[in-house]
Amino acid sequence: MNIKFVVVGKLKEKYFKQGIAEYAKRLSRFCKFSIVEVPDEKAPESMSQAEMDQVMAAEGERILSKIKDKEYVYALAILGKERSSEEFAKEIKDLTTYGHSDITFVIGGSLGLTPAVLKRADTQISFGRFTLPHQLMRLVLTEQVYRAFMIIEGSPYHK
What residue numbers does the annotated binding site cover? 76, 108
Q: What are phi and psi of 36, to 5 degrees?
A: -110, 115
Residue 29's Cβ-count burial label (10 Å; 0-12, 13-18, 19+) is exposed
For residue 112, list its beta bridge partners: 109
Check the CA dihedral 102-88-6-155 and report its sign.
negative
Q: Read off the amino acid at residue 112.
A: G
Q: Which residues are annotated as a binding site for S-adenosyl-L-methionine?
A: 76, 108
